[in-house]
Amino acid sequence: MAPTIYLPMDAMREIKIAVSRAVKANKLAVPAVSEADLFSHPLDIRLIDLEQVDGNTTLREQILIVALAKRRDAQKVFEFGTFDGKTSANLAANLGPEAEILTIDLEAAQAGATRMSIGKKDLRFVRKDQIGAKLGSFSGVVQLFGDTGRFDFSPWYRTRDLVFVDACHEYQYVRNDTEIAFKLLQPSGLLIWHDYGTWVGVTRALNEFYVLDPRFRALRHIAGTAICFLEVGLDHPEEPPPVCRVL
C-alpha cells in the first residue's frame, strides 16, 4: 500500500517560494487558498521518484496536482508540456489503470518554426535529450508532439475532465493553451496551471483572465506554490468582479 502523505509536507516551502519569486506578491491578482481549504483528510499518493531538476514542479506541487486530480476522480487527462514526463507518470500511478493521459511537448527540431515566439529561458527546456524520459512503462500515457500554437486538438474537444497547462511560459502561448484547454474540457472539469508568480508571462495571462473574463471568477492560487486551478461546471458563490490592476 502506498504511504500516506499529509499536506502540507514542508512548512517552510511557502517562505522559500515567496522569497524566490520573479514576480512581486502585490502583482498576484488571483485570490489564494491553502491546502487546508481544499483537503480535509490525508491522501494516499504514490510518487515515481523524488528527484528534482530545473523545470520540474516542486515535490509539494506534484502532490497537490495529484491530490486535486484524485479529488475529482479524473480519468481523462491532457497535459500541456511533457518535459521529462514526471507529472503524467505520477498521475498515471495514482488515477488507476483505466485513466487515459495525453501529453504534448515541442520537439527541439521544431523550436525554430513555432507559430509564436519562444524566449531563451523557455528554449532551455525545449532543448533536452529526451521528452518524457520518466514515463517508463505507463501504458495509459500517450505522447503527442508539436507546437501547441499549430497542433490540431479538435479530436479531443470536450473529452477531458482534467487539463494541466505547463508548456511555454510566454504570455501569448499561455493564453493560447488556456483557450484550447477550455475546448478540451468536458462541461464539468478541472483546469490547473503551473508557474503562476514565477514566470511573468504566466502571471500576466492568469491575472488578465481572472480580472477580465467571467469564466475565471472562481480561479484560485494555492498559497506558497506556483499552482492555480479552476473548477469548471460547479456552482460557485456569486462574486463581484475583481477590482485590481493586472500585471
Helix axes 59-71, 86-95, angle to 10 degrees: 40
Q: Give the pLDDT confidence score for residue 235 in this predicted structure.
A: 62
Position 246 in a domain: no
Position 193 in a domain: yes
Position 101 in a domain: yes
Instruction: List, for residues 213-224, the tens digit of each pLDDT value.
Output: 999 999 999 999
Q: Give the pLDDT confidence score for residue 18 in this predicted structure.
A: 37
Give the number of domains in the chain: 1
Position 242 in a domain: no
Q: Nearest-CA neighbor of 57 among 130, 147, 164, 129? A: 164
Instruction: List, for residues 149-159, the tens digit of each pLDDT value.
Output: 999 999 999 99
Q: Is 137 helix (H, G, I), strand (E, B) or coil?
A: coil
Q: Nearest-CA neighbor of 76 among 37, 107, 42, 103? A: 103
Q: Give the pLDDT confidence score for residue 14 in this predicted structure.
A: 37
Position 9 in a domain: yes
Position 247 in a domain: no
pTM: 0.86
Phi-psi region of 195 (alpha: psi -120 to 50; beta: other; left: phi over 0): left
Domain span at residue 142? 4-146+153-232
Q: Give the pLDDT confidence score for residue 17 in this predicted structure.
A: 36
Position 237 in a domain: no
- Residues of the chain with confidence (pLDDT) below 50: 1-21, 243-245
Q: Give the pLDDT confidence score for residue 52 in this predicted structure.
A: 86
CATH code for position 205: 3.40.50.150
Position 110 in a domain: yes
